[in-house]
């Protein structure tokens, strides 16, 4: 066992990042220090943002804790990952979005934080449609108000992008 650990260290293997491990790190060291620790490791940071994007409840709790202390570019990465999670786990995202933490419906159901640097309007629209469909399928009565607010925000964002795309299409010919 020790030989495997030594070999991994010598080869520069990235330590595994799990939501539980990161949450324990936040509890021990605080969110700011744990964020600095995991964001220094490129592969670890990808594991964190991928985990958040998958929408697992524990990873969304990590995002909520990190967003309280994050600055750019980590805050942008975290917001984008939470936006992605809306398509795969809308119930988890909307539960946290209404719980008074850092994840807020006003930005998670808007496309701006996720796509502001991506010029591909058709792709942005398709991702918003995917998120709308996921939120629309959500039938949890306890989340009905958040669901409706999120759907309104997503529809408004999609409508704005569709108008922009139509305008560009007219200009091009």
**Residue ranges per domain, the chain?**
16-172
Asked whether 94 and 146 are in contact (CB, 8 A), the reply is yes
Long-range contacts (CB closer than 8 Å, 24 or more residues apart) made by 65-72? 65/23, 65/26, 65/31, 65/34, 65/102, 66/31, 66/34, 66/35, 67/101, 67/102, 67/103, 68/31, 68/101, 68/102, 69/31, 69/32, 69/35, 70/35
Q: What is the mean pLDDT of residues 158-168?
A: 89
pTM of the complete model? 0.83
Burial zone of 55 (CB within 10 Å; 0-12 exposed, 13-18 middle, 19+ buried): buried
Q: Is the pLDDT of residue 117 over 70?
A: no
Question: Tell me, what's the pLDDT at 10?
Answer: 41
Asked whether 105 and 73 are in contact (CB, 8 A), the reply is no
How many other CB atoms sit within 10 Å of the CB of residue 147? 22
Give me the half-sphere count of Cα atoms (radius 13 Å) on the Cβ side of residue 139. Answer: 1
Task: Round to whole Å and give the CA distance between 58 and 144.
Answer: 23
Q: Compute CA distances 43 → 13, 14, 15, 97, whole Å.
A: 10, 7, 9, 27
Query: Could you tell me the pLDDT band of residue 6, with boundaries at 50, 70 and 90?
Result: very low
Query: Could you tell me the pLDDT band of residue 171, with boundaries at 50, 70 and 90?
Result: confident
- Residues near 96 by Cβ (< 8 Å), separated by ≥ 6? 60, 61, 64, 103
DSSP state of 41: S
């Amino acid at each position: 066992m020790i030989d495997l650990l030594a070999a991994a260290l010598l080869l520069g293997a990235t330590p595994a990042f799990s939501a539980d491990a990161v949450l324990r790190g936040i509890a021990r060291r605080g969110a700011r220090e744990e964020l600095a620790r995991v964001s220094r490791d490129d592969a670890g940071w990808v594991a964190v943002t991928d985990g958040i994007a998958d929408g697992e409840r524990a990873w969304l709790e990590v995002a909520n804790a990190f967003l309280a202390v994050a600055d750019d570019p980590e805050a942008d990465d975290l917001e984008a990952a939470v936006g992605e999670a809306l398509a795969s786990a809308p119930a988890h995202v909307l539960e946290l979005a209404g719980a008074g933490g850092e994840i807020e419906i006003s930005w998670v159901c808007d496309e701006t934080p996720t796509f502001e640097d991506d010029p591909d309007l058709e792709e942005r629209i398709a991702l918003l449609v995917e998120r709308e469909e996921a939120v629309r399928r959500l039938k949890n009565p306890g989340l009905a108000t958040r669901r409706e607010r999120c759907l309104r925000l997503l529809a408004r964002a999609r409508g704005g992008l569709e108008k922009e795309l139509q305008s560009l299409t007219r200009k091009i010919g």
